Amino acid sequence: MGDAALSLEHVLVIFYQNMPAELEELIQTKFPDAEVTIYHSQKDVPVPSELYQSATILATFADLPDLKDSKNLKLIHTFSAGVDHLLQHPIVRETKIPLTTSSGIHGPPIAEWTIMNWLVSSRKYVKGYEAQKSHLWDKAVYNPGLHDQVGKKVGILGYGSIGRQIARVSHALGMTVHAYTATPRLTPESRHDRGYIVPGTGDPDGSIPASWHHGTDRESIRSFLATGLDHLVVSLPLTPETTRVLATEEFAILSKHSQHHSKPYVTNISRGKVIDQKALVDALNSGVLGGAALDVTDPEPLPKDDPLWDASNVQISPHVSALGFEYFPRSLDILAVNLERIARGQPLINAYVRGKGY
């Protein structure tokens, strides 16, 4: 009995906000062989030391224990896709406690957000919505210009887990997919997705793109933009090189080479600053671009008087594309996979490598 108790993991899950009871129940079922404590973190109130001390496994956004409270911890899992916000903490700098991320879980919701925005635009959803509010049955509100996505070309700048799920759905819609990555992916092996993949989604072996392109300089990106794209999806990390990498000239190149009757549509799901926002507003209002879907802006929140709000054919949402009921269960699926891997002595998935820099 004593031995069994010693081997039982104690999973401490720290949420920022209250969760629906249904979600808490679901989370308890993820770890049938462990003791699970769910703690609701409050702003400016530290998590009790005793809780940290008794935990062997910690799942958290950004709450981390002091070094002295970490001695039982075997693994820290963050609900974030990255670890930038944790890198300065002593737990990361001064211990070797393995740290895993939630990278990979954002593909399905962000892909759904993306496809939704494309179709809302191409199929004029808002026209129908406004007509319904007025109880108006009128096909004419859809004229002219309904068109569909079959045969359209989508270029995806940054072919990670999100880009891959967008690719998967795009391909099913009858589109062709063109991938752009920082480093060359010349062999089939190099095109595999190495992170966590939500089962039944994504492009695990990188077989969907009709072509692969790469580079980190502006010229390489411009060459990609000149390949005749109908859609450009921006899924790049924000770095000094990618800051405002898409500006007036880039939108002009994209527009000049588009092959269909509708002008190119830009989707940004990475960071607002990857785009020169004033140039984007001009490109939309002048018809250089056909439309844009933006879940991110520069700055956030977008000020009330920003001209982006009313630019032509722009659809803006307040950085919500990754959100949803499935977020936490899916993140904890990664943790559950890793607990099994620990038990079997296998390497962790989604592990942060200290010193790698991101």
Binding site for a second copy (CB under 8 A): 20, 22, 108-109, 111-113, 115-116, 119-120, 122-123, 125-126, 128-129, 131-132, 135-139, 142, 144-151, 168-169, 171-174, 198-201, 261, 300-302, 304-306, 309, 315-320, 323-326
Place of tokens 């038990």: 343
Of residues 66 and 130, the one with the C-beta less far from a second copy: 130
Q: Strand 75-78 and strand 57-60: pairing?
A: parallel
Of residues 315 and 331, the one with the C-beta less far from a second copy: 315
* Token pair of 187 as six digits: 């062999």
Respond yes or no on whether the N-terminal peptide bond of residue 329 is cis (omega within 30° of 0).
Answer: no
Of residues 67 and 126, the one with the C-beta less far from a second copy: 126
What residues does 14 pair with on adjacent strands?
39
Question: Could you tell me the smallest distance in angstroms from the CB atom of residue 309 to a second copy?
Answer: 5
Strands of the 75-78 sheet, one edge to the other:
35-40, 10-15, 57-60, 75-78, 99-100
Of residues 47 and 334, the one with the C-beta less far from a second copy: 334
Rounded CA-CA distance 232/71 in Å is 48
- Element (H or E) spanning 327, and its range? helix 327-344
- Element (H or E) spanning 292, and its range? strand 291-294
Of residues 199 and 357, the one with the C-beta less far from a second copy: 199
Of residues 97 and 116, the one with the C-beta less far from a second copy: 116
Question: Could you tell me the smallest distance in angstroms from the CB atom of residue 332 to a second copy?
Answer: 15
Question: Could you tell me the smallest distance in angstroms from the CB atom of residue 143 to a second copy?
Answer: 9
Question: Could you tell me the smallest distance in angstroms from the CB atom of residue 331 to a second copy?
Answer: 14
Respond yes or no on whether the N-terminal peptide bond of residue 32 is cis (omega within 30° of 0).
Answer: no
Residue of 233, 111, 114, 228 lying closest to 180 (CA atoms) = 233
Of residues 64 and 110, the one with the C-beta less far from a second copy: 110
Label residues 66-105 b or e (16+ Cβ within 10 Å = b).
eeebbeebebbbbbbbebeebeebebbeebebbbbbbbbb
Question: Could you tell me the smallest distance in angstroms from the CB atom of residue 168 to a second copy?
Answer: 5
What residues does 60 pair with on adjacent strands?
78
Question: Could you tell me the smallest distance in angstroms from the CB atom of residue 22 to a second copy?
Answer: 6
How large is the greatest C-alpha to C-alpha distance in the chain, in angstroms?
Answer: 75
Q: Strand 99-100 and strand 153-157: pairing?
A: unpaired
Question: Could you tell me the smallest distance in angstroms from the CB atom of residue 352 to a second copy?
Answer: 25
* N residues, the chain: 358
DSSP for 45-56, please give it.
Answer: BPPPHHHHHH-S
Question: Could you tell me the smallest distance in angstroms from the CB atom of residue 252 to a second copy?
Answer: 22
Question: Could you tell me the smallest distance in angstroms from the CB atom of residue 135 to a second copy?
Answer: 5
Question: Could you tell me the smallest distance in angstroms from the CB atom of residue 201 to a second copy?
Answer: 5
Could you count the other beta carbons within 10 Å of the beta carbon of residue 317? 15
Of residues 46 and 174, the one with the C-beta less far from a second copy: 174
Of residues 65 and 107, the one with the C-beta less far from a second copy: 107
| Dihedral angle of Cα 262, 263, 267, 273, to the nearest 10 degrees | -170
Of residues 238 and 316, the one with the C-beta less far from a second copy: 316
